[in-house]
Amino acid sequence: MEVKTIDLPQGFEIDVKRFYMNGIIDMPCPCGGKLIRDFDEQYLSHPIIGEDMNISMHCDSCEKEYTIEGRIENIKIDISFDKNSIKEDI
Ligand SMILES: [Zn+2]
């Protein structure tokens, strides 16, 4: 197998209406609880690499929604492929 690494450049728009990814970010809520954004369950819509966006956060303690500014700093994709698997398209 060979591996080709692709770094998506700043300004690259991920042309996906519902872009799910792994991971959670959390931060303290003003109420003392914890604000959470679960990217497994809450998608981003057409995110742009390196561009500020509003990220909604939810607190289970006070049941309030908040918005923070954030951005996707980078995405790296490793594609592995087998040159011996070549087949002519028919
Ligand atoms: Zn709260």
Report yes or no on 90 lying in a domain.
no
Separation of CA 54 and ligand 1 centre (Å): 18
Separation of CA 14 and ligand 1 centre (Å): 31
* Pairwise CA distance, residues 67 & 21, whole Å: 19
Report yes or no on 6 lying in a domain.
yes
Report yes or no on 89 lying in a domain.
no
Report yes or no on 25 lying in a domain.
yes
Separation of CA 28 and ligand 1 centre (Å): 8
Residue with tokens 């003392």: 32
Task: Name the percent of the chain in helix, strand, coil, to the closest 5.
Answer: 5, 45, 55
Report yes or no on 75 lying in a domain.
yes
* Pairwise CA distance, residues 58 & 37, whole Å: 7
Amino acid at 77: I
**How many structural domains are present in the chain?**
1
> Tens of pLDDT along 21-53?
999 999 999 999 999 999 999 999 999 999 999
Q: For the whole model, what pTM was predicted? A: 0.79
Report yes or no on 13 lying in a domain.
yes
Residues with beta carbon < 5 A to ion ligand 1?
Answer: 29, 31, 33, 59, 61-62
Sequential DSSP letters for 28-49: E-TTSSEEEEETTTS-BSS-BT
> Tens of pLDDT along 49-73?
999 999 999 999 999 999 999 999 9
Report yes or no on 28 lying in a domain.
yes
Range of the domain at 65: 2-83
